[in-house]
Structure formats: C-alpha cells, structure tokens
Amino acid sequence: MKKIIFILLIITLNSTAQTSTAKYWLDPNGNQVKIKQRSLLFDKFPDNSLAFRKTADSGMVYQFNAPKYTTYKVDYSIFKSEIEKITNNIYSDSTIFLIKYHYFDDNCSDWTSNKMTKENINNIKKVHGESINQIKKLDNRIEIIYLFENEIELNNNTNIKSDFFYSDYDNFFRKNLFINTTVCGSFGLIKPNGQTLIRNGESHVNEIYDHLKPEIWNLIFQQ
C-alpha cells in the first residue's frame, strides 16, 4: 500500500514538473534519476524519504536523501511552552504532542499550497478528522496539532477551540525539529520525558500514533 502511495506521489510530482523552469530528481548520492527509475527509490532506499529544495534558477530539486526517522532528546518544557504560545492554550505536563508539519513550497497534492484556503483546510480536516477524534478518545494524553511553516498563508479560524491548524509563526519548530523539507511534510511525537521522534515523508496520523506502542517506541530509542 505504501509503495502504491509513493508511486502515485511520483506521478503527481512528475505532472507538476511541466510548470517549473527546471526540475531534477536525485538519488541519495546526488546522481540524477530517470523517470522510469523513480518508483524504484522506495525499495532501494527504505530508510530514506523524498526531500525537496528550490534552487536559484527557480527549479525544484527532489532528492531521496532525507532520513525517514530521526530521534531527539529535547527539553520538554521549552517545546511545550512554544506550543502554548502558538495555540494560546495551556497543556498538562503529561501531554504527548503529535505534530503534523507542512513545509513551504511542498507540492504534495492539490490540498497543499503556499496559500491554504478554507477549502484546502476543510478537505484535510474531512480526511483526517475522524482518525484524530478516535485517537483522542483512546488516549487523553494526546494533543494533535497541524503546524505550517510561517511563510505559508493560513486562512483558518484559530478562535474556534476545536481548531488544530496553526502557523509556526517564528519557525521555531522548523528550525529545531523539522529540519528536512520533505515532500508531504513530516510528523513528530514529543513525550514528557523529552524523547522525540520525527517521521519524514508521507504517512498517516494513525500510523504515527502506533509508534507510541511500547514495543515499537522502546525498540526505536534503544537503537
């Protein structure tokens, strides 16, 4: 299933190439990848995700060199405080934060844009809303937040208490956690003990939540 999603993503990105002055696809070593070989990257480099960057000639460069997973040990109180500033909410010290991060210039799908309209936002909420509600019912420690890089124009209503879309207004999280600009964004989990897991690339909120299972989480952090 994941491979099918990746192939569809490649087709989408290939189609958007027609509107750019230049577009390059590279493997982790910087070698250019032909169109027919792009779908093979998923199997060849299973520990990597597809990163992107915009070059001086306004062309997009896609390179399969972002780490799929990264772990950190952070000062929980600092990151919790930053989230409280962004959301204007107060959270308990037992809160586990599950963050979906959206990058500027990401061409993941028609729903992602540098100008996130109410329609874009509502479409994402329709797809993810049910899963988010299920997770929060199962585990009241979880706070799910969708963050957008500051340069993205976000047209939502943060005055609604149930809203979970926010701008990373000073790019604190972009600078400190979500450092790899990855196609289809990244997810992050921050636990009260400071253990933090970043999952770069296409995924789903349910899959990210499953990483909190002790047999998965402990295996990751033992390594």
pLDDT (tens digit per residue) in 68-100: 999 999 999 999 999 999 999 999 999 999 999
Question: pLDDT tens digits for 95-153?
Answer: 999 999 999 999 888 778 899 998 989 888 888 888 999 999 999 999 999 999 999 99
Q: Which tokens go with 19? A: 């509107």
Domains of the chain: total: 2
Q: Do both 82 and 192 map to the same domain? A: yes
Whole-number average pLDDT of the chain: 88
Here the CATH number for the domain that contains residue 216 is 3.40.30
* Domain final residue pick, 49, 67, 85: 67
Is the pLDDT assigned to residue 59 strictly greater than 90? Answer: no
Residue 158 confidence (pLDDT): 63
Residue 107 confidence (pLDDT): 86
Q: Do both 150 and 183 map to the same domain? A: yes
* Domain final residue pick, 26, 42, 67: 67
41-57 average pLDDT score: 90
Q: Do both 154 and 218 map to the same domain? A: yes
Q: Do both 38 and 92 map to the same domain? A: no
Question: pLDDT tens digits for 173-184?
Answer: 999 999 999 999
CA distance 132 to 205: 7
Domain containing 11: what range?
2-67
Q: Do both 115 and 61 map to the same domain? A: no
Q: Do both 128 and 22 map to the same domain? A: no
DSSP track, the chain: -HHHHHHHHHHHHHHHGGGSS-EEEE-TTS-B--GGGGGGHHHH-TTEEEEEEE-TTS-EEEEEEEESEEEEE--HHHHHHHHHHHHT----TTPEEEEEEE-TT--S-TT--SEE-HHHHHHHHHHHHHHHHHHHHH-TTEEEEEEEETTSEE---TTSTT--EEEETT-HHHHHT--S-BTT-EEEEE-TTSEEEEEESS--HHHHHHTTSHHHHHHHHH-
* Domain final residue pick, 29, 51, 67: 67
